Each structure stands twice: as C-alpha cells, then as structure tokens.
A and B are shown apart, each in its own frame.
Chain A
Amino acid sequence: MAPRILALAVMALLLAGCAAAPAESIAPVPAPLPTAEIDVPRQSSELAPVEQLAAPVRIQIPAVGVDISIAPVGIQPDGFMEIPENITVAGWYQYGSSPSSDTGSTVITAHVDDFVQGLGPFSRLASMPAQAEIIVTTDDGVDHRYQLESVQNIQKAQVPLDQVFDRDGAPRIVLLTCGGQFDENVRQYSDNVVAIANPL
C-alpha cells in the first residue's frame, strides 16, 4: 500500500508541475512532443521457446544412505501425482518448481515399498536425523544443498497440497512417500511422510 500512496503523491507533484506550465504558447517554436511519465513494461510478442528449468536428476541423503536418480513425472489419469514404478528412482513433479527456480517447492517422491521390490530407499526418510543434509543435483551439473527442517506423518486427507506444491513461496524441497497404517483392503497407507528442507 505504501508504494502506491507514494506513487500517488509523486504523481500529484508531477501533475501540479504540469499544470503550472502555460497551456497556450505564442512562441513560434512547436511545443515538444509529450512523453509518457510511466514506464509500462513491454516485450516482444514473437513466438519464443518456453524456458526450461534445470531438472533434478539425483538425490543424496548421506545420513541415511540414500543416493538414487530422479526422473521427471507428471499426473496420473486419476489426477494424482505420477511416481516411478521403480522404487529406487524418485519422481520430480516437473510442472512445479525445480532447485534452480527462484521460488516454490521442488517436490520429489518415491514409493516407500512394492510387493516385488520390497522396501525402497525413501522408507528411510522417516529416520533422517535432525538437520540432515540433502543434496539434489540438477542436469546442469549443479549440486543444490539443503538442510532438513522437519519430517512428519500427515494423514493423506490432511496433507496441505497447496503448500506441498507451492510455486510462489520461498525455495525449498519437499520429499514425499507413504507411511502410517496400511489398509490391506485397499492396499493404501494412511499417511504421507512429508520432509521439508531449506537451501543451505
């Protein structure tokens, strides 16, 4: 609000200045052309390729021995986040932020287990020590380092999806897998294990 009031005040001053100038002139020289007082942002409307973010390709959590590759994923037909079938590959939600974004959450998920493959590396998210270091490497070769802020079990229906998949807030990574109770009938876990880490 303050900048707007300031702008208003500045404009009022400018307008007062304009008003003081003689409206009619008998001088033979033509009046100078008016100039715009506001610089409105402009850009070309030419067709340009969409800028691609550097994609995360590897995640390491040395404290719990996690070192796996990351593949870009999207949406399943049912509207849920897609997750690689291979439990030793994590999925990056490619429509959201990446570690090289200025804002938002980079969301990385892996299956906690599978009947055939057994327990996956992300089952160890729950046992990460406080302030564990997490390193995410992007495909431009940059290592992005994060420090664990929290790990918690949240009932799936209570997971704040708009915060998990936030694109505008402070940059961070959110690691997700499943946990809590397992319902044999629907073969689903009750909770998501949600780990949040901030850039170091």
Chain B
Amino acid sequence: MRNKIFAGVAAGAIAAVGVAIPANAISDTTADLYVLHAVPGLTVDVYVNGELTLDDFEPGDLAGPLDLPADTYTVAITASDAADDSEPAIGPIDLTLEANTSYTAVAHLDESGDPTASLFTNDLSTVAAGEGRLTVRHTAAAPAVDVLANDAVAFDNLSNPDEVKADLAVGTISAAVALTGTTDPVIGPADVEIAEGVNTIVYAWGSAADDNLTLAVQTIDGLHSNPGGVDAGTAGLAADNNNGILVAGLGGLAALLALAGFAATRLSAARAAK
C-alpha cells in the first residue's frame, strides 16, 4: 500500500511539470486527486496514509493532480508544525477513489464555521463543441446561497457542501453569490470565463461571519469535442468534371462483369464435378 501510493504520487509529480494542469491522467486503474485548501487563516500539512504529502499548504492553494491507483486513502490535515498526523485538525477521513475518475478533496468550513473536508467528483464528460462547463461548489461558512450569472439567478438555494453545474456557451459571465432570497452579493460580482472544453469549477469559501467570503477557481481542460464537419462550398464551381462519375460507373460495371464471370466459372466447375 505504501509503495503503491508513493509510486502514484511520484507519477503525478512527473506528469505535472508544466505550469498548466494536464488535462487528466486518469486511466482504467488510476484516479486523479486534486486538493484545495479553503480554510481561512490556517496553514496546514496534509498526510496521506500517514505520510506527509503536502507541507505548509496555504489557504487558497490548489495542489494536484495526483495520479493515484484506485483505492481507499486516509487523509489527515494537521497544523503546519505538527510532528505527525496523530492530532489532526481535520479528519482523518477515508477517501475512496475509483478508477477513471477525477476528484477534488476540499478542506473547508462547514455552514456553522467548523473545519471539515469534502470529496467532490469532477465531471470530465465531454461537452459539445463551442461549450464549456461551469461547476459551482458551496464550501463556505454561510447559509444557502443563490448563484447569479449576469445579474440573473442561475442556480438557487445551494447549500454547503453541495455543487451545481451546467454546460454553457463559451464566453465571460459576471458571477456573484447572494444569500438565498436576496440579491445583494456577498461575493462578487467577478468575471468568470467559460472556456471551450474546460470544466471551470468555482468554489465559494471563507466565512460570512468573519467577512472573508471569496472565490477559488479550478479549471480542468480536455473535455472538448470536435465540430460535426466542414461544409465549405455551395455553388459547385470547383467540382471535379463529371468524368469522375462516369469512371466510377464504368468501374462498377467492370466489377459486376467480373463477378458474373467468376460466378459462371464456379457454376461450370460445379457441373464438371458432378
């Protein structure tokens, strides 16, 4: 088990040398795990199966993806100066990761302001060409909220720790979060870009009581699909001359004749055998 997770963690580290997050490394045997720190004012260490995996992890930081073999992992989050994971501030919690699936584990506050952790599954199913996906997750110490897009309610009554999502045409939306039933934003408005083939995951985090509600954004690309085709002419002026059709027709005729000849030969051979 120990070797398995280390090999997985190492592979994740190798795969993610670039600045951009690779689309995803999931496979029939592995899962992707991202970790988001959304507890204000608390630098932490993250232990996976008793091993220190994220040292001095700062609020607002996003780590990953770790390409991990499908399995159940025990995650404990401690203060950053802890000697081990024996006195976690959050957890330990068991995360069961299935193959071919992308997850984000979020350390955050629950509605009443206590630290907790939630495991979200990232929807990597393909989107139509020209569209992107918007996912909104409520991980803030705040009551239920409405999510406003371009001043209209896009998703209503979203509670901690739930999520909502939709596939949208590419473009920029002005996003804001208001307590359910109100229209005065507690977060935003902020411009969120819906990019093509990308799942843009927006987290509301922080605490309403402490007046530090804000947004975190995670993007996972590679969800695009292709156009259905290319129709680039309407007049026929560039058509091959019609000899093409004639040749094809003759070819077909020749093929038929050959078949007929072949059948005749078979027939006579069969007769001869009798």
Query: Are B2's CB and A15's CB within 8 A?
Result: yes
Query: Are A189's CB and B192's CB within 8 A?
Result: no
Query: Are B230's CB and A34's CB within 8 A?
Result: no
Query: Are B236's CB and A38's CB within 8 A?
Result: no
CA distance A10 to B9 in the complex (A): 13
| Shortest distance between the CB of B211 and any CB in chain A (Å) | 18
B149 neighbours in A (Cβ, 8 Å): none
Query: Are A80's CB and B230's CB within 8 A?
Result: yes
B60 neighbours in A (Cβ, 8 Å): 44-46
| Shortest distance between the CB of A183 and any CB in chain B (Å) | 8
Query: Are B130's CB and A95's CB within 8 A?
Result: yes
Interface residue ranges of A28-51 to B (CB < 8 Å): 30-31, 33-50
Interface residues on B, range: 35 or more
| Shortest distance between the CB of A51 and any CB in chain B (Å) | 9
B226 neighbours in A (Cβ, 8 Å): 161-162, 164-165
| Shortest distance between the CB of B133 and any CB in chain A (Å) | 14
Find A79's partner among B128, B196, B224 (CB 8 Å cutoff): B128
B181 neighbours in A (Cβ, 8 Å): none
Binds A, one of B87-95, B154-162, B213-221: B213-221
Query: Are A36's CB and B55's CB within 8 A?
Result: yes
CA distance A78 to B235 in the complex (A): 20
Query: Are B7's CB and A161's CB within 8 A?
Result: no
CA distance A119 to B235 in the complex (A): 9
Query: Can you report 11 residue pairs joining A to B where beta carbons are below 8 Å apart?
Result: A7-B6, A33-B82, A36-B45, A79-B227, A95-B224, A113-B233, A113-B237, A167-B224, A178-B238, A182-B233, A189-B239
B2 neighbours in A (Cβ, 8 Å): 15
The 8 closest A-B pairs by CB, nearest first: A182-B236, A178-B233, A7-B10, A75-B130, A182-B239, A45-B216, A112-B233, A95-B196
Query: Are B52's CB and A34's CB within 8 A?
Result: yes
A11 neighbours in B (Cβ, 8 Å): 3, 6-7, 10
CB within 8 Å of B: which residues of A? 3-4, 7-8, 10-12, 15, 30-31, 33-50, 74-75, 78-81, 83, 93, 95, 109-115, 118-119, 122-123, 126, 156, 159, 161-162, 164-165, 167-168, 176-182, 184, 187-189, 192
Contact with A along B123-153 (1 / 0, CB 8 A): 0000011100000000000000000000000
Find B232's partner among A38, A46, A119, A192 (CB 8 Å cutoff): A192
Known A36-B55, A114-B233; further 19 A-B contacts with Cβ < 8 A: A8-B7, A15-B6, A34-B83, A36-B53, A40-B64, A42-B62, A44-B61, A49-B193, A74-B130, A75-B129, A159-B230, A178-B230, A178-B231, A179-B238, A180-B244, A181-B240, A182-B239, A187-B236, A188-B233
Interface residue ranges of B52-92 to A (CB < 8 Å): 52-55, 57, 60-64, 66, 81-84
Query: Are A3's CB and B14's CB within 8 A?
Result: yes
Contact with A along B201-212 (1 / 0, CB 8 A): 001000000000
Find A81's partner among B52, B227, B245 (CB 8 Å cutoff): B227
Find A161's partner among B196, B229, B238, B245 (CB 8 Å cutoff): B229
A109 in contact with B7 given A39-B13, A47-B215, A118-B237 (CB within 8 Å): no
